[in-house]
Structure 1
Amino acid sequence: MTDATPPPPPPLPDLPADEAAASAPRRRVAADDVDDTGVPAVDGDVADVGKGFFRALFDLSFRTFITRRLASVFYIAGLIVIGVGAVLYLVSGILSGIGAVWFNPGAAISLIVATVVLVPLITFLAVIALRLVIEAVVALIAIAENTERTAAHTER
């Protein structure tokens, strides 16, 4: 067996982190730069966003995408539809089970238990599927926008 000594600790930096960050040169971000999501920054007045939306909505050449702007609206609408459907299925399943108790108590209890277990499970899976679909569409649009931006900046 050899006598191994641990390696020496790394040297300490010249300045503490907060002083180094304060003394670092500031980089100004131009208005046309994009953040880490790939969405261009809003330049100008907030009212310009609506004008761009309607201009993009009626763009017959489909050069402007509105999917990213509407993704949250579609997600909320989908959640509402899934929630209403879950409540309707849950209530109707329980009421059907209660109504069947006089004819076949075993089947009625099975129906109620299956409804109480399956409806929340299916609702949860539906929310996950909705989120995955919307994220996939938004990612596809982001890829298309970034590809278009790269092609515009590439020399030919």
Structure 2
Amino acid sequence: MIESSVSNCPVPSEQQPLNEYEELKSSWLFRDCTLDWREYITKLTCIWGLSWPIAAAVAAVSFPPHKQIAHFLLCGSAGASLGLILILLRLYLGWSYVQHRLASPIIFYEESGWYDGQTWTKPQEVLTRDRLIVTYQIKPIIQRLQISFASLAVLFVAGTIVWHLV
């Protein structure tokens, strides 16, 4: 029964929320959010580590490592975290967009270009299916990203306290 509702869907295949979700879930950056916690943290740590050389170069200009090692390390760590924040923000915005499209009862789509937008009201069974995906698949990812942002905020506060103590 669901298949007949989806097959009657006027929304182009690449703009259907379920297909957008599947595409996002399989893309190289966004699939990292679906890993178990250990692998997820490892990926975030790698991203942070890859940001370190640039951040360290900038921090070294203001705080020479041979004179002010603590300030250099704190400044470099904070700078490297900015790259991580940008990646997390991109992940959050992508997953939030798909969450909104799946949870919405009305879908906006473009038939052939930006100038001919249409809307489609989802049948109840499609809406129920999509909202189940939101509840059991996407909300845990959004929560994981929110925990990541909160953890970074705590680390920034801790770094600020240490900065003032040093």
TM-score normalised to the size of structure 1?
Answer: 0.37
Higher RCO (CA < 8 A, seq sep 6+)? 2
TM-score (norm 2): 0.35
Return the structure number with greater helix share.
2
